[in-house]
Structure 1
Amino acid sequence: MDHAEVLAQFDRDMREGARPDGPGAVVEHAEGVVRQIGSEQGWNGVLWSQLSGLAEADVDAVITDQVRYFTGLGREFEWKLYGHDRPADLGGRLRGAGFTPEPEETLMIAECGELRLDAEPPEGIELRPVTDRAGVDLMVDVHEQAFGTDSSQLRHQLLAQLDADPDTVVAVVALAGDVPVSSARMELTPGAGFAGLWGGGTVPTWRGRGIYRALVAHRARIAADRGYRYLQVDASDQSRPILGRLGFVPLTTTTPYVYAPR
């Protein structure tokens, strides 16, 4: 894999050429940025920026414009900053404008044909596709236990996707008997070269048994069957070693900078 070439393609496909991530969302090309406007429960934010070469005052003006725009909509929003974005001090400028950085993650990419896809769930674990409201309830239950966060936004997004265009999302829950213990999803953007792995999480008492690895392999096989060349994931420090053993490589970092209207 040519890391620089793949990263440039990722920027073109998934950021500069981003498509809406669900029903009702709109992607706009504004001055210097590409942004998504979703519902109050959906994802709102800046996906890509082209600020290199601008004067410092002009960079700050673009940031101010986005704050004014989303604040006018009454939306909390995220500026998704990548390690190779320019100018190099953009993160500091976002903090100065009132954004709060969340934990840094690593953008990891794998070529489907190069992955080790033989990982199977451990004995007693069933992987079940999520196709209806009952499955979404199971998935949300796992997500809240695994990450300790409210998952109402995830519930809204999944139900909307499954209702409007189920071919754009693959969701799966791992069950130990009738008990949901792990879950994950995959976003499939039509026309893009990358399928995105999101939300993989296991409840604390079931970690370290290979379930997360099996969920990655399961989704990767589906992506390959549907003709996607690459998989991408924003990896936490916890998942990065597992993904590395499967064949993913780190290309850059990504940090969500969040702005909440006062």
Structure 2
Amino acid sequence: MDQTDQVDVLALFDREVREGARPDGPGAEVERAGAVVRQKGPAHGWNGVVWSALEAADADVVIAEQIAHFTGLGREFEWKLYGHDRPADLGQRLAAAGFVPEPAETLMVGEVAGLALDAEPPEGVRIVPVTDRAGVDLMAEAQAKAFGTDVSRFRRYLLDRLTADPGTVVAVVALAGGEPVSAARMELVPGTPFAGLWGGGTVPRWRGRGIYRALVAHRARVAADRGYRYLQVDASSQSRPILERLGFTPLTTTTPYVYVPVR
């Protein structure tokens, strides 16, 4: 992807996926409030700002409005800041308003037709679709071990999504025998050329064997079969080099700024 293509694809991503955001699951609502697009999720869902078009003169006022809105709902929320968002000091303004930044990641996009899709899991590991409660349990077990975090909210979210809107999510788990050793999902954005890769995590003692790469390739093949042109990933520093070797291009950074209301 040359530099001109990168600029064009980033603009398309902003327009289709961020400004034109769709609810990410049952019970979620997306609304435009002036210069921001935000999502209100259910109790176990995601709440936050997905897009903004702010000027330096009004940025602080708009930030305060979003804090008041979500605090009034009693919810913590995230302002998903991208490296090209304006004003240039928006991250500093969010921090001054009480947001706490989490580690930055790299927004990477790959054109499906140009990706290396031949990666397969190592011997003894198979990739299995997740379509029901038993599969979600296996997936949650793998991700809890991979990330060392509580995944109960994610488990509820995925169950709801698979039940109410299964055509917009592809979830998979990698099994070694009957043991879940890695898991990931792909979220399809209907009406756009983009599908997003999320949650790829491998149990520590199984890392370095090509499972993550195989899960990316598996989901990319599904995306190709369903007619999606681009895959998007918020990549950590660990996954970025793997994705670059598969054909993904870094476009910008993305940093979650989290606001937790005082209770």
Smaller-chain TM-score bracket: over 0.9
- Give the 5 Å matches for 1:120-199: 120-199=120-199
Q: Which amino acid aligns with 1:72?
A: G
Mapped partners of 2:31, 2:212: distance in 1? 35
Cα deviation digits, residues 43-98 of structure 1 (max 9, x gap): 0000000103x41xx21010000000000001110000000000000000000000
2:51 corresponds to 1:48: yes
Cα deviation digits, residues 83-118 of structure 1 (max 9, x gap): 000000000000000000000000000000000100
Q: Which amino acid aligns with 2:220?
A: A
Corresponding residue number in structure 1 for 2:89: 89
Shift of 1:40: 1.6
2:4 corresponds to 1:28: no
Q: Which amino acid aligns with 1:78?
A: E
Mapped partners of 2:100, 2:115: distance in 1? 35
Cα deviation digits, residues 226-260 of structure 1 (max 9, x gap): 00000000000000000000000000000000001
Mapped partners of 2:124, 2:99: distance in 1? 45
Which of 21, 46, 50 in structure 2 is aligned with 1:18?
Answer: 21
Mapped partners of 2:251, 2:117: distance in 1? 21
Corresponding residue number in structure 2 for 1:235: 235
Q: Secondary structure at the match of 2:16?
A: helix
2:11 corresponds to 1:8: yes
Q: Secondary structure at the match of 1:109?
A: strand
Q: Which amino acid aligns with 1:60?
A: D
Q: Which amino acid aligns with 1:209?
A: R
Compare 140-149 and 21-30 and name the one that shifted more.
Answer: 140-149
Cα deviation digits, residues 185-219 of structure 1 (max 9, x gap): 00011101110000000000000000000000000
Shift of 1:150: 1.1
Percent identity between the two aligned chains: 74
Shift of 1:157: 1.1
Cα deviation digits, residues 159-190 of structure 1 (max 9, x gap): 01110111100000000000000000000111
Q: Which amino acid aligns with 1:185?
A: R
Q: Which amino acid aligns with 2:25?
A: G
Q: Secondary structure at the match of 1:243?
A: helix
Moved over 6 A (4+): none
2:116 corresponds to 1:116: yes
Structure 1 gap segments, 5+ residues each: none
Q: Which amino acid aligns with 2:61?
A: A
Compare 142-151 and 216-225 and name the one that shifted more.
Answer: 142-151
Mapped partners of 2:153, 2:68: distance in 1? 23
Mapped partners of 1:159, 1:202: distance in 2? 21
What is the alpha-carbon root mean square deviation over aligned residues? 0.6
Mapped partners of 1:236, 1:225: distance in 2? 27
Structure 2 gap segments, 5+ residues each: none
Mapped partners of 1:35, 1:132: distance in 2? 30
